[in-house]
Chain A
Amino acid sequence: MTLLANNENPLFVHGVSWMVLLIVVIQAVVVFGALMISVMLMIWFERKVISDMQSRIGPNRAGPFGIMQTLADGIKLFFKEDLQPEQADRFVFKLAPYLTIIPAFLAFAIVPLGGEVTLGGHRFYLQLANPPMGILFLLAMSAIGVYGTMLAGWASGSKYPLLGSVRASAQLISYEAAIGMTVVMVVLVTGSLTTHDIVVAQATHLWQWNVIRLAVVPFVIFFIAVIAETNRPPFDLVEAEQELVGGFVTEYSSIRFALFFLAEFMNTITMSAITVTLFFGGPDGPVPHLGGFWSHLLWIVPLLWFLGKTIAFLFAFVWLRGALPRLRYDQLMDLGWRRLIPLSLGWLLIVAGFITGGWWGTGLTAAVVVSAGLIWRAAIVGARREDTQAILTPVGRRLWRRPGGSLPQAGDEGSGDGADEVVGGLDARGGAI
């Protein structure tokens, strides 16, 4: 396949006719419906998988395997009373759920779902929209999504939602930087911003997939940042039940609550799809050679590849939720600002060096990045040395910072050599917490 010189959708090449309009409208309606249904199935899937991981049965009443549980919940939420706190800012309180759900819908529009399809003489992509700014549209939409969370917490007029929303927005802003950086790497190797070109550039060979072309690290950064961006465990500090009741949704009830929930799962699906698009070739995969009648149905195969890859990532999301404990807030910020962003910046430099200067450029940039890291590390160690007069092992340093009074004094009962002291001290500290 060759890259399209312009970003025109082949659908609009011959002008806009009623048939073209009909195709666009049908696409929009089908994508909308499919997204709604997949959200429904995703909620069920998550509950079932989590139940299996926790040795529970999970939803099993509504429909076969409880598959209609989400529908039942949705209907119930629809008919519940819609409460609004007296202290709430009425207009913003009502606005916030829509600010969350509309970007979640729109972001999915740029995902290429399949290859090309010809219908009634019109060639078009299985993709709702292919705007020239492409993947940047996703970043813009997730930037708007922040407002929904932020304003929901603020407009509730109560403390816990406000704390939740402040956490959420800080988290989103922090991890957006890492996401943007990895997206830049993909755009660099593709040479185009549109999702269609990104997918086309990865087609035909497994080693053309960006996950391999960019050597895995950007994908890992992107995936971690995406989990944080969608507020899913282990980054779900926004709605940490033990600390914040329900986070920014605490005061929401009935259908408004359902809208937030819907948007969250929709974001999960969108982000899985975007991960597949950016790093795993989107709908790319082997297509069987079939003749006759079956050749008219071959367009389904890329769609199935896309669905399979997306479901694999959705499972990974659920898996991480079942497997990992929640991070502390300082760990979250530490991971975002001090690990992911420097790493992605360094990797971006190396990728840029490779693209401009081949292996020489890579080597040079890598050397610069590594030596800068070494100098930085040395500076930190040096600064520490000034403070403590000694470079201590991690265990020793922890001993140094313990609360006063808990330090085992020399000559205490049972304290033998130094190693025992350290272990005992750590135990004491662990017990205190």
Chain B
Amino acid sequence: MTALATVLLWATATHPTLVDAGTFSVSAALVIAGAIGVIVARNPVHSALMLIMTLFGVAVLFLLLQDPFLAVVQVIVYAGAIVVMFLFVIMFLGVDREENLGAEKLRGQRPTSVILAAASLAGLLILGFVGHWTLGAPHVAGPDTGAPNVNLLGQSLFTTYLFPFEATAALLIIAVVGAVALARRPGGEQKVVDAAPGPLAPELDPASRFVVTPPAPGGNEDAEPSGPGNQNGGDGS
């Protein structure tokens, strides 16, 4: 680790462009390898791990573009919050078992996906060459005045782009409220304090929401959280 840092520091001092190119190729390779891994991995948990690797690579790319703030936010928000939620759902719903990649659920999905991927890649490339459609205009937040990135980002976010920012926030709130409304059983919460004194209603006890019921012997295995035991051994990927 230290030796690596030493080499990197020395190289940064003497050959800056070389280091930039090297860092870019390593992190780009990480991003692409992770992205492929997400699709190829048979186990959803492995897919999620590969996704984290991709997000890390993107964070390094942000660092390379001299924006440490976005890099760290990338790690905090995407790797730290969103993928954790993915993993949560995967573990809780017990879908963490291997998928048969050979099965086609939709007829002709493979050729279609290849065509679509090629088309969108071509579109992106064309747009990238034609103008700033994909890469974005340089210096959206104004010319580089040497002020810290965070200040510029905050300023443009809360002045120029205030409306899109607030609209996004409202959308997220709507999504959360919608999820809660969908997940709640109809009429469940309102009758918790019954008129008749009865046993504690299960919805009343907040602890019961987090308690995972142990598997009934011989019961169905769908609802319980499951470890990786359902998969075949020897998967060293």
Q: Which A positions have Cβ atoms within 8 angstroms of B? A: 6-7, 15-17, 20-21, 24-25, 28-29, 86-92, 131-133, 136-137, 139-140, 142-144, 146-147, 150-151, 154-159, 161-163, 165-167, 169-170, 173, 176, 192-193, 328-330, 333-334, 384, 387-388, 399-404, 407
Whether A140 pairs with B75 at a CB distance below 8 angstroms is yes
Whether B80 pairs with A146 at a CB distance below 8 angstroms is yes
The smallest C-beta distance from A214 to any residue of chain B, in angstroms, reads 20
Whether B193 pairs with A403 at a CB distance below 8 angstroms is no
Determine the distance from Cα of A193 to Cα of B150 in the docked complex, in whole angstroms. 9
Contacts of A329 in B (CB 8 A): 207, 210-211
> Which of A6, A91, A140, A330 touches B80 (beta carbons < 8 Å)?
A140
Whether A404 pairs with B198 at a CB distance below 8 angstroms is yes
Given the known A-B contacts A157-B229, A404-B198, are A330 and B193 also in contact in the complex, defined by CB atoms under 8 Å? no
> Which of B12, B72, B225, B226 touches A137 (beta carbons < 8 Å)?
B72
Whether A16 pairs with B205 at a CB distance below 8 angstroms is no
Which single residue of chain A is at the shortest CB-CB distance from B71? Answer: A133
Instruction: Check: B79 CB closer than 8 A to any chain A CB.
Output: yes
Whether B197 pairs with A143 at a CB distance below 8 angstroms is no
Per DSSP, chain B at the interface is helix
Q: Which B positions have Cβ atoms within 8 angstroms of A? A: 1-2, 5-6, 9-10, 12-13, 43, 45-46, 49, 52, 68-69, 71-73, 75-76, 79-81, 84, 87-88, 91-92, 96, 146, 148-150, 190, 193, 196-200, 204-207, 210-212, 214-215, 225-229, 231, 233, 235-237
Ranked nearest first, the 7 interchain pairs of A and B with the lowest CB-CB distance are A143-B80, A16-B13, A87-B229, A89-B228, A157-B227, A330-B207, A330-B206
Whether A173 pairs with B81 at a CB distance below 8 angstroms is yes
Contacts of B80 in A (CB 8 A): 139-140, 142-144, 146, 176
Contacts of A87 in B (CB 8 A): 227-229
Given the known A-B contacts A7-B148, A21-B10, A329-B207, are A166 and B228 also in contact in the complex, defined by CB atoms under 8 Å? no
Whether A91 pairs with B206 at a CB distance below 8 angstroms is no
Whether B12 pairs with A156 at a CB distance below 8 angstroms is no
Contacts of B73 in A (CB 8 A): 136
Which single residue of chain A is at the shortest CB-CB distance from B85? Answer: A173
Which single residue of chain A is at the shortest CB-CB distance from B146? Answer: A6
Which single residue of chain B is at the shortest CB-CB distance from A158? Answer: B227
The smallest C-beta distance from B212 to any residue of chain A, in angstroms, reads 6
> Which of B9, B149, B227 touches A16 (beta carbons < 8 Å)?
B9
The smallest C-beta distance from B235 to any residue of chain A, in angstroms, reads 8
Which single residue of chain A is at the shortest CB-CB distance from B196? Answer: A404
Whether A166 pairs with B225 at a CB distance below 8 angstroms is yes
Whether A147 pairs with B84 at a CB distance below 8 angstroms is yes
Determine the distance from Cα of A202 to Cα of B4 in the docked complex, in whole angstroms. 35
Instruction: Tell me which of B1, B43, B92 has the highest count of chain A C-beta atoms within 10 A of its own C-beta.
Output: B1
Contacts of B87 in A (CB 8 A): 147, 150-151, 154, 169
Determine the distance from Cα of A416 to Cα of B225 in the docked complex, in whole angstroms. 51
Contacts of B207 in A (CB 8 A): 328-330
> Which of A24, A155, A173, A401 touches B227 (beta carbons < 8 Å)?
A155
Whether B76 pairs with A140 at a CB distance below 8 angstroms is yes
The smallest C-beta distance from B193 to any residue of chain A, in angstroms, reads 5
Contacts of B210 in A (CB 8 A): 167, 170, 329-330, 333
Given the known A-B contacts A154-B45, A154-B227, are A401 and B197 also in contact in the complex, defined by CB atoms under 8 Å? yes
> Which of A155, A165, A333, A388 touches B206 (beta carbons < 8 Å)?
A333
Which single residue of chain B is at the shortest CB-CB distance from A18? Answer: B10
Which single residue of chain A is at the shortest CB-CB distance from B208? Answer: A330
Determine the distance from Cα of A159 to Cα of B227 in the docked complex, in whole angstroms. 7
Given the known A-B contacts A7-B148, A140-B80, are A131 and B92 also in contact in the complex, defined by CB atoms under 8 Å? no
Whether A401 pairs with B228 at a CB distance below 8 angstroms is no
The smallest C-beta distance from A191 to any residue of chain B, in angstroms, reads 9
Contacts of A29 in B (CB 8 A): 2
Contacts of A387 in B (CB 8 A): 190, 193
Whether B200 pairs with A136 at a CB distance below 8 angstroms is no
Contacts of B236 in A (CB 8 A): 90-91
Which single residue of chain A is at the shortest CB-CB distance from B190? Answer: A387
The smallest C-beta distance from A414 to any residue of chain B, in angstroms, reads 20
Could you list some 26 contacts between A and B, CB below 8 A?
A16-B12, A17-B13, A25-B2, A89-B235, A90-B233, A92-B49, A131-B68, A132-B69, A132-B148, A133-B68, A140-B79, A144-B75, A144-B79, A146-B80, A147-B87, A151-B45, A158-B227, A162-B226, A163-B212, A163-B225, A166-B225, A169-B87, A330-B207, A333-B210, A403-B199, A404-B197
Instruction: Tell me which of B45, B96, B227 has the highest count of chain A C-beta atoms within 10 A of its own C-beta.
Output: B227
Contacts of A150 in B (CB 8 A): 84, 87, 91
The smallest C-beta distance from A415 to any residue of chain B, in angstroms, reads 16
The smallest C-beta distance from B179 to any residue of chain A, in angstroms, reads 16
Whether B88 pairs with A169 at a CB distance below 8 angstroms is yes
Whether A15 pairs with B13 at a CB distance below 8 angstroms is yes
Given the known A-B contacts A89-B231, A143-B79, A173-B81, are A159 and B214 also in contact in the complex, defined by CB atoms under 8 Å? yes
Determine the distance from Cα of A135 to Cα of B132 in the docked complex, in whole angstroms. 34
Determine the distance from Cα of A409 to Cα of B237 in the docked complex, in whole angstroms. 66
Whether A169 pairs with B72 at a CB distance below 8 angstroms is no
The smallest C-beta distance from B190 to any residue of chain A, in angstroms, reads 8
Determine the distance from Cα of A399 to Cα of B193 in the docked complex, in whole angstroms. 12
Given contacts A16-B13, A154-B228, A329-B211, 6 further A-B contacts (CB under 8 A): A87-B227, A132-B68, A140-B79, A147-B87, A403-B198, A404-B196
Contacts of B214 in A (CB 8 A): 159
